Amino acid sequence: MTDTSTKLSADFILNGEPKVVEPTIFDLSSPGRTGVSFPEPDVPRSELPNSMLRDDLPLPELAEVDVVRHYMHLSTFNYSVDSGFYPLGSCTMKYNPKINEDTCRLPGFLFTHPLQPIETVQGNLALMYTLQEWLKEISGFAGMTLQPAAGAHGEFTGVLIMRAYHKSRGDDKRVKMLIPDSAHGTNPASAGMMGLKVVQIPSDERGNVDIEALKAECDDTVLGLMLTNPNTLGLFDENVEEVTRIVHDCGGLVYGDGANLNALLGIVKPGDLGIDVMHFNLHKTFAVPHGGGGPGSGPVGVAAHLADFLPAPLVGILEEGDDELAPLFGFVFPEKSIGRMKAFHGHFGGGLVRAFTYIAMHGPDGLRQVSEYAVLNANYLQARLRDTYKIPFDRICMHEFVAEGRFKDTDVKALDISKRLMDYGFHPPTNYFPLIVHEALMIEPTETENKDTLDAFADTLIKIAEEAKTDPDLLHNAPHTTKFGRMDEVKAARELVLCCWLPEDYEDQ
Amino acid sequence: MTYIPISPKERDAMLETVGVKKLDDLFDSVPAKHRFPTLNLPPAITEMEAAAELGELATANESTKDLISFLGAGMYNHYIPSVVDHILRRGEFYTAYTPYQPEISQGTLQGIFEYQSLMSTLTGMEVSNASHYDGATAAAESINLAWAVFRGKRTKVVISPTVHPQYREVIRTYTQGMDLEMAGDNAEADLETGPEALTELVDENTMLVIVQYPDFFGRIYDYTKLTELAHEKGALVCVVANPTALAMFKTPADMDADIVVGEGQPLGIPMWYGGPSLGFFTTRKKYVHKMAGRLVGETVDSRGQKAYVLTLTAREQHIKRERATSNICTNQGLLALASAVYLSLVGKKGLRQVAESCYHKAHYAAEQLSKLPGMGLCFSEPYFHEFALCVGQPVSEVNEHLLNHGFIGGYDLGKDYPALKDHMLVAVTEMNTKEEIDAFVQVLAEVAHD
């Protein structure tokens, strides 16, 4: 197959100069242009401390229209949930309701300062208090902090809480964190930040935690286990209660990675399964948009015995209300708090307001439907692909599943399949994760896709499997129809060009 | 309501393909006694009702649109040009994931590359990462970098007591498991002495010195001497900087700082009751391999086009797991874009204009306020847009009086610094008009007495 879009640009062939598709904001700058003007100060000018002044500020200069067009052009280079199917495993790329974009920008939320007197921010505090209560109810926990900024930040919070719990009991010898081999990379990294010894626990042939291997590692040096359930194979651990019991029996605590909570809303409360502490990803489960990499929001829930260790402060009721008077909300400080995880109160506007809107509009039945349909969609895709792609742990999955992206008699890899999917207008699944599956394609459709989209995606993957056999180079060289082709990642790491500047002759222009 | 686009008929067809009879059958692996719990939550509401309910909560607040604010202390009321939110509202930006597939993520990647470039320009440093959660966590991550640079062989960190109190709290939380010696983090310290006082604490075991610029009281110090002395002992220096101030004052790079971090909220991000905001992190190129967080680098694609990718990913958690420089994964991508759009719009002139406007207004306010009986500036050093004002009586009472007259008063410094009981940290930005400042002074005059 010949495809003109894969040809090298003429400039590159002639001069070795890469073709610029969209210049940088620095390239577009022209001396003397202004994008926005500010009023002159309406007060007398004070003397400036001359010895401390900066002489040059080489920021770009552009008009408003230049800036708008530039970023509009850039936006068209992105694939997004708003433009198409984004089955990125473990990322829960569900549709982000538009109303949430409006509620989180209400002026009363946008323009409140985090240190204002509490009497002036009762709306914010009531929202936060209610969200704490809702998340506790959804997850079966007794305590909740909204402070952590993201999932990994929540994990770090959770591990600090577990450590503080043991320390408060004079139990100082617990230095070992058990982590199943299917865990997200953030789990060992969070434990590593605490200087803990990470011990990997294998999975059994059904994708569950290997019980015997777990027992062998459980002793009085175990700080805890970090468990993702459903795990990254998309499977609910069939022995989860036994797993948590074994860890508790040796005095350890169980951390739940809530990244995959989209499978469990109204299905089971993690707290009921013996999980002691868990983070939420509001940007996955509760439709906070991913923003091209953030901001997220990672509240942490804990069982009663850990509530005193939560980060400070939490939102509480300072004075009970009655029929006529609303309660007075304010901040409360847990007795043995691990301290503060970030400045101020968490990702209030971008995270908490959106998640609050989402939960309020779903109610208990709607949340259960979210998980039911997320799981239905994943199982439907798994069923449609089972005959074409090997499913290494083949049973009813939860909200996602993992297929192998390799075939007999061809060297096509998962990455090639992923890149070829782009030619058909789909975002690829997660590649090469979990690490325990060869050439993993981790597929999470979410509940916000219809049957037509799922069928089109399955048909395409089946077609690509055929192409892999008949024309493997078509996959090796994919994508063909996108604006950009495969990247020279080695060049990026070797040359390490991490920023640009105004040109040297800028002022002479 | 939900956003599920599947009809009952389609559902049944899908269930049949899966080979189960009903949705409940998909959950047999969940322990029966805990399966399908009742969720005691309010019943679902429609979009129309949600808009009204959230509107009510928002109007239960009194925002800086209702009250005149002189509160800063780490989060500042600046003007955000209209364009910024128009760009952020592009679904192509805000509904995309981390750019792991560069062929179809060049918008995000080039945006971050430009953000890195703009932050390097602003701080004067050589490299910037793609962001941290906020200024406080960025400051805490500077310790992880220093730890990696010295491979754990140095274990002491010197922190100025005039670094934001909440940042120091976060640093204490972050370092709980690290067995470090922390020096200088003392609210009882003499706050009058300059940064050189810290050098007494710097020794051969010190890996990092952390100072703030302007410091928590708004003061501008030249840290050149401090960095020189710290470098003599082999220690690194991290400066927590206010990005607006960097438009007019010497950069920390001019003072030979090794790491410059800070809160990027002043650059086009709403206060949003404290978050999400933007932690920026910049350093020298030689430390890039020890830096946490994502990095975007320039490259070419297979067609000879200039393009951008996430690079040096081997530092990160998804590759290195427990040996990663940090566990950070999700960062503040969209807000890094916001600040890139903001900086592109205001440009070199506009940002300097904002900074100078803040400076002049703060100095005018300080001058007027110090004329009031019993009130006065606490420190004599040059300052930017924030200053410590002695009010001669409990700040909580003064602030209550101010609130009754429609003002949000300054931050009560006595909460964090016993020596600064009855002192208020007043912030003035380009948003405060002379009329507002004069009214503020007048209301304070009502309570001022010798």
- Please identify, among B342, B370, B405, the residue that sits at the C-terminal boundary of a domain: B342
Per the rule left: phi > 0, alpha: psi between -120 and 50, beta: everything else, A242 is alpha
**Res A7: pLDDT:** 66
For residue A5, is pLDDT > 50? no
- Same domain, yes or no: B155 and B288: yes
Distance CA A60, CA B350 (A): 11
Q: What is the pLDDT of residues A294-327, one digit of tens each?
A: 999 999 999 999 999 999 999 999 999 999 999 9
Element (H, E) at B79: none
- Tell me if B404 is assigned to some domain: yes
Q: Check A291 against B220: CB less than 8 A apart.
A: no
Q: What is the pLDDT of residues B327-374, one digit of tens each?
A: 878 889 999 999 999 999 999 999 999 999 999 999 999 999 999 999
**Res A3: pLDDT:** 46
- Residues in B closer than 8 angstroms to A198, CB to CB, are 321-322
- Please identify, among B323, B342, B361, the residue that sits at the C-terminal boundary of a domain: B342
- Tell me if B330 is assigned to some domain: yes
- Min Cα distance A465 → chain B (Å) is 20
Torsion angle (degrees, nearest 10) of CA B105, B338, B251, B368: 180
Percent of chain A at pLDDT above 90?
A: 90
- Min Cα distance A430 → chain B (Å) is 9
Total domains, chain B: 2
User: For each of chain B's 450 residues, which pLDDT tens digit applies?
Assistant: 689 999 999 999 999 999 999 999 999 999 999 999 999 999 999 999 999 999 999 999 999 999 999 999 999 999 999 999 999 999 999 999 999 999 999 999 999 999 999 999 999 999 999 999 999 999 999 999 999 999 989 999 999 999 999 999 999 999 998 889 999 998 888 888 889 889 999 999 999 999 999 999 999 999 999 999 999 999 999 999 999 999 999 999 999 999 999 999 999 999 999 999 999 999 999 999 999 999 999 999 999 999 999 999 877 777 677 777 778 788 899 999 999 999 999 999 999 999 999 999 999 999 999 999 999 999 999 999 999 999 999 999 999 999 999 999 999 999 999 999 999 999 999 999 999 999 999 999 999 887
**Res A99: pLDDT:** 98
Q: DSSP 3-state assignment of B135?
A: helix
- Same domain, yes or no: B371 and B253: no
Residue B376 sits in a domain whose CATH number is: 3.90.1150.10
Residue B413: give the domain boundaries.
68-73+351-447
For residue A477, is pLDDT > 70? yes
Output the average pLDDT for chain A: 95
- Same domain, yes or no: B332 and B380: no
Residue that is written with structure tokens 């804990």 in the block = A302
- Same domain, yes or no: B331 and B362: no
Distance CA B127, CA B306 (A): 20
CATH 3.40.640.10 domain range(s) in chain A = 101-362
- Same domain, yes or no: B358 and B333: no
What is the distance, to the nearest Å, from the Cα of residue A283 to the centroid of all Cα atoms in its chain? 6
Q: What's the topology of domain A368-493?
A: Aspartate Aminotransferase, domain 1 (3.90.1150)
- Same domain, yes or no: B332 and B365: no
On whether ipTM exceeds 0.95, the answer is yes
- Tell me if B51 is assigned to some domain: no
- Please identify, among B311, B342, B373, the residue that sits at the C-terminal boundary of a domain: B342
A280-317 burial code (b ≥16 CB/10 A, e <16): bbbbbbbbbbbbbbbbbbbbbbbbeebbbbbbbbbbbe
- Tell me if B2 is assigned to some domain: no
Q: Check B303 against A353: CB less than 8 A apart.
A: no
Q: Report, as an integer, the average pLDDT of A11-34.
A: 90
Q: Check B63 against A152: CB less than 8 A apart.
A: no
Q: Residue A35: which of B63, B249, B344 has the nearest Cβ?
A: B344
- Same domain, yes or no: B210 and B87: yes
Q: What is the pLDDT of residues A58-87, one digit of tens each?
A: 999 999 999 999 999 999 999 999 999 999
**Res A189: pLDDT:** 87
Is residue B312 less than 8 Å (CB to CB) from chain A?
A: yes
Q: Rounded to 5 degrees, what are φ and ψ at A429?
A: -70, 175
- Same domain, yes or no: B166 and B291: yes
**Res A194: pLDDT:** 83
Q: Is the pTM of this model over 0.80?
A: yes
- Tell me if B169 is assigned to some domain: yes
Distance CA A203, CA A121 (A): 49
Reading the block at residue A440, the tokens are 């993993």
Element (H, E) at B276: none
Distance CA A446, CA A87 (A): 7
- Tell me if B117 is assigned to some domain: yes
Contact B430, A38 (CB under 8 A): yes
Q: Residue A82: which of B28, B91, B121 has the nearest Cβ?
A: B91
**Res B190: pLDDT:** 87
Distance CA B357, CA A7 (A): 52
Distance CA B277, CA B292 (A): 18
Q: Residue A62: which of B65, B250, B347 has the nearest Cβ?
A: B347
Q: Rounded to 5 degrees, what are φ and ψ at A457?
A: -65, -45
For residue A197, is pLDDT > 90? yes
Residue A44 burial (CB count, 10 A): 10
Region A101-362: CATH code = 3.40.640.10
Distance CA A435, CA A440 (A): 8
**Res A4: pLDDT:** 43
What is the distance, to the nearest Å, from the Cα of residue B28 to the centroid of all Cα atoms in its chain? 46
Q: Check B86 against A93: CB less than 8 A apart.
A: no
Q: Which band of pLDDT confidence, cut at 50, 70 and 90, is reported for residue A1? A: very low
Is residue B155 less than 8 Å (CB to CB) from chain A?
A: no
Q: What is the pLDDT of residues B387-404, one digit of tens each?
A: 999 999 999 999 999 999
**Res A6: pLDDT:** 55
Torsion angle (degrees, nearest 10) of CA A76, A80, A84, A90: 160
CATH 3.90.1150.10 domain range(s) in chain A = 368-493
- Same domain, yes or no: B324 and B373: no
- Tell me if B116 is assigned to some domain: yes
Cross-strand partners of B300 = B306
- Same domain, yes or no: B157 and B110: yes
Q: What is the pLDDT of residues A199-223, one digit of tens each?
A: 999 999 999 999 999 999 999 999 9
- Same domain, yes or no: B316 and B360: no
Contact A360, B50 (CB under 8 A): yes
Contact B196, B368 (CB under 8 A): no
- Same domain, yes or no: B332 and B432: no
- Tell me if B337 is assigned to some domain: yes
Q: Residue A293: which of B92, B99, B176 has the nearest Cβ?
A: B99
